[in-house]
């Protein structure tokens, strides 16, 4: 059982304790343990084995026992007891933005709200405002946020859908009746969120594959006679499996990959493609270069005509890994561990960008801590210079952009960093004009080198602040500031739809993992996936620069 699965049970226990009126400090202990486990490098189960789990901060003897029990059978006594004492739908109610454990509990006890449907009905019937402390505005927000939650619940983040579907695809490939199987649909196009996963399999025996899928999926349903079967993976991700004879695989792969807009535009000019075994045949027949699947959105990919498509960025093109956190702020690995993890992955430079002083919750660095960290970066670089002169650590900071658009340190502190990533973390409730001005002012600051997660969105969790992307991008281009494409699968922000605007203006895009733990450096994969979707090429990507070129970029464009 993975750390994150164990952490989920512990976090749910924390919520249940508060919902049922338990000791809030005890609840927080569960919450803290869950977070510790989520960020833990090595396997909690392994640590149970060698008795070192209690060395992890926030995990004592009792918590370690709970973890052992969860690792064994997926849950533990306290969790089961609490879960059976609340209505099953109540956990959904608590997912509504603005409803924490306290308000959810009152809605449950005082209005008998036990599901999203109940909540929506109570708000529509004007019952919510009858509770002390709940006004008209709160009731209105509840209605809107229930609708938003329902929309979110219908979709899956790219990385989650991919991870859930991959084992299914691997197993499918080992099936005797299957000649070939591939991802297709929105997943293959690297959409940031998808409604369902799609897989295409080539087979001469569709019925045998259907039987296999029926046994493998929850709630399987056949569609279009025997050419499609739908069902749900264990993780809850809906999957649609298309079956096609090997001779027609290529054309079917093209069509199921979509997007519908791409296929329609294709057929309007080139006609419907004949059956092909290989997808290349579809494009050859139309005298088109093979258009990479990520680009098939009818957003200019046909303008390529006879030209070969752009050589899109690959993970191998990345030489640097900028914007990472350490235990100096809210990361879970030391600066040295983080740098070494980057080195192990073959990067030639690493940027440490812990949080700045005003972000207290994330233990943002005081000017004194900045100085201390600078000294450690210098020591690390001396060490690396001996062992691996081709590797270097850069001292950066993720500086908060304050409400007025200024950065979070005086210039004498800002002067000591190798580079500054400027990001907004507070005060999201802005008009588009306010947000845009705040960002543009930060971009105009000569110390800013990268604009961090430009909209602050969390996919399927929170809309970002509204931003006039064009103005912000143009300001970045003008001031030599790179735009971050934050590779955290919950962010993928800059949105891919704006990447071509940025690159066409000459602004660089920096694909940053925003890693709060060593293994999360691997988030870069999703940043690359979405960067490709925005037509990003290596020369347009800041951290695809060599160590030498990156150093030069810092020197040339710096304050």
Residues lying near DNA in the complex (CB under 7 A) are found at 23, 25-26, 28-30, 32-33, 54, 56-64, 78, 97-104, 132-139, 141, 360-361, 363, 403, 425-427, 429, 458, 461-462
Nearer to DNA, 32 or 180 (CB): 32
CB nearer DNA, residue 142 or residue 181: 142
Q: Which is nearer to DNA, 97 or 500 (CB)?
A: 97
Least distance CB 99 / DNA (angstroms): 5
The least distance separating DNA from the CB of residue 82, rounded to whole angstroms, comes to 11
Nearest to 91 by CA among 76, 108, 78: 108
Q: Which residues contact 354 (CB under 8 A, 6 or more apart)?
A: 325, 326, 328, 329, 330, 331, 364, 365, 373, 397, 398
Least spacing, CB of residue 114 vs DNA, in Å? 16
> What one-character-per-residue DSSP string does 255-317 give?
HHH--HHHHHHHHHHH-PPPP-SSHHHHHHHTT-PPPPGGGTTTSSGGGGTTSPPP----GGG
- In order of 125, 143, 275, 403, the CA distances from 255 in angstroms are 47, 39, 11, 48
- Name the DSSP letter for residue 23: -
Q: Which is nearer to DNA, 94 or 477 (CB)?
A: 94
Q: Which is nearer to DNA, 149 or 233 (CB)?
A: 149
Q: What angle do CA 59, 65, 70 make, to 5 degrees?
A: 100
Closest CA to 533 of 299, 250, 341: 299
| Residue closer to DNA, measured from CB, 135 or 176 | 135
Work out how close the CB of 119 gets to DNA at its nearest, in angstroms, rounded to a whole number.
Answer: 13
What are residue 541's DSSP bridge partners? 509
Q: How many Å apart are CA 301 and CA 310, to the nearest integer?
A: 10
Q: How far apart are CA 367 and CA 495, in angstroms?
A: 33
Contact 538, 317 (CB under 8 A): yes
Which of 223, 311, 376 minimizes the C-alpha distance to 544? Answer: 311
Smallest distance from DNA to CB 95, Å:
8
Cβ proximity to DNA, 93 vs 529, nearer residue = 93
Q: CA 305: distance to chain centroid?
A: 34
Of residues 250 and 405, the one with the C-beta less far from DNA? 405
The nearest distance, CB 293 to DNA, in angstroms, is: 32
CB of 403 to DNA, least distance (A): 6
Taking the complex as a whole, how short is the minimal distance between the CB of residue 179 and DNA, in angstroms? 46
Q: Which is nearer to DNA, 25 or 387 (CB)?
A: 25
Rounded to 5 degrees, what angle do the CA atoms 357, 488, 6 make? 95
Name residue 260's beta-bridge partners.
Answer: none
Q: Find the shortest distance in angstroms from Cβ 61 to DNA.
A: 6
The Cα 404–Cα 529 span in angstroms is: 34
Contact by Cβ (8 Å): 435, 465: yes
Nearer to DNA, 14 or 177 (CB): 14
Q: Name which of 101 and 333 has its Cβ closer to DNA.
A: 101
Shortest spacing between CB 484 and DNA, in angstroms: 16
Give residues with Cβ within 8 angstroms of 42, minimum separation 6: none
Nearer to DNA, 134 or 550 (CB): 134
- Bridge partners of 200, per DSSP, are 182, 242
Instruction: State which H helix or E strand residue 127 sits in.
Output: none
Distance CA(62)–CA(276), nearest Å, equals: 61
Under 8 Å between Cβ of 522 and 488: no
Query: Among residues 114 and 416, whose Cβ is nearest to DNA?
Result: 114
The nearest distance, CB 146 to DNA, in angstroms, is 12
| Cβ(202)–Cβ(181) below 8 Å | yes
Q: How far is the CB of 109 from DNA (least distance, A)?
A: 12
Nearest to DNA of 105, 191 (CB atom): 105
Rg of the chain, C-alpha, whole Å: 26
State the nearest-atom distance from the C-beta of 361 to DNA, in Å. 3
CB of 458 to DNA, least distance (A): 6
- Kindly give the residue spans of alpha helices, DSSP state H, lying in 3-111: 3-19, 24-39, 44-50, 61-73, 77-84, 90-93, 101-111
Residue 130, classed as helix, strand or coil, is: helix
CA distance 325 to 332: 8
């Amino acid at each position: 059982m993975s750390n994150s699965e164990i952490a989920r049970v512990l976090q749910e226990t924390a919520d249940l304790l508060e919902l049922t009126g338990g000791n809030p400090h005890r609840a927080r202990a569960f919450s803290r343990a869950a977070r510790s486990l989520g960020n833990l490098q090595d396997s909690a189960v392994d640590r149970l084995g060698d008795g070192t789990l209690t060395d992890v901060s926030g995990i004592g003897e009792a918590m370690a026992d709970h973890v052992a029990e969860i690792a064994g059978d997926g849950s533990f006594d306290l969790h089961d007891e609490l879960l059976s004492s609340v209505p099953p739908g109540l956990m959904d109610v608590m997912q509504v933005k603005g409803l924490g454990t306290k308000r959810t509990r009152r809605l449950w006890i005082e209005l008998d709200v036990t599901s999203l449907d109940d909540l929506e009905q109570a708000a529509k019937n004007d019952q919510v405002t009858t509770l002390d402390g709940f006004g008209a505005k709160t009731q209105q927000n509840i209605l809107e946020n229930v609708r938003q939650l329902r929309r979110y619940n219908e979709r899956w983040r790219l990385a989650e859908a991919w991870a859930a579907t991959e084992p299914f695809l691997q197993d499918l490939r080992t099936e005797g009746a299957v000649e070939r199987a591939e991802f297709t649909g929105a997943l293959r196009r690297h959409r940031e969120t998808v409604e369902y996963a799609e897989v295409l399999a080539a087979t001469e025996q569709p019925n045998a594959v259907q039987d296999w899928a029926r046994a493998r999926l929850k709630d399987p349903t056949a569609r279009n006679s025997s050419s499609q079967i739908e069902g749900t993976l264990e993780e809850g991700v809906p999957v649609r499996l298309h079956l096609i004879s090997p001779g027609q695989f290529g054309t079917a792969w093209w069509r199921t990959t979509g997007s519908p807009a791409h296929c329609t535009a294709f057929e309007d000019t080139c006609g419907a493609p004949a059956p092909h075994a290989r997808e290349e045949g579809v494009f050859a027949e139309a005298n088109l270069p093979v258009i990479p699947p990520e680009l098939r959105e009818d957003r200019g990919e046909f303008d390529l005509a006879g030209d070969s498509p752009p050589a899109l960025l690959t993970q191998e093109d990345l030489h640097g890994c900028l914007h990472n956190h350490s235990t100096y702020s809210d990361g879970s690995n030391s600066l040295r561990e983080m740098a070494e993890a980057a080195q192990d992955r073959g990067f030639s430079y690493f940027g440490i960008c812990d949080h700045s002083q005003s972000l207290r919750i994330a233990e943002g660095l005081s000017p004194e801590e900045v100085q201390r960290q600078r000294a450690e970066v210098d020591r690390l670089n001396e060490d690396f210079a001996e062992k691996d002169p081709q590797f270097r650590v850069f001292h950066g900071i993720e500086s908060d952009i304050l409400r007025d658009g200024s950065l979070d340190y005086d210039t004498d502190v800002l002067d000591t960093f190798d580079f500054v990533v400027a990001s907004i973390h507070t005060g999201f409730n802005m008009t588009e004009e306010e947000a845009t001005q705040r960002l543009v002012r930060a971009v105009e600051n000569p110390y800013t080198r990268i604009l961090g997660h430009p909209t602050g969105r969390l996919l399927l969790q929170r809309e970002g602040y509204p931003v006039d992307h064009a103005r912000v991008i143009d300001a970045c281009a003008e001031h030599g500031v790179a735009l971050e494409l934050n590779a955290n699968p919950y962010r993928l922000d800059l949105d891919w739809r704006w990447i071509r605007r940025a690159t066409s203006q000459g602004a660089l895009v920096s694909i940053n993992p925003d890693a709060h733990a060593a293994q999360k450096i691997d988030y870069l994969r999703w940043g690359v996936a979405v960067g490709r979707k925005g037509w990003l090429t290596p020369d347009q990507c800041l951290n695809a620069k060599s160590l030498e070129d990156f150093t030069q970029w810092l020197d040339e464009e710096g304050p």
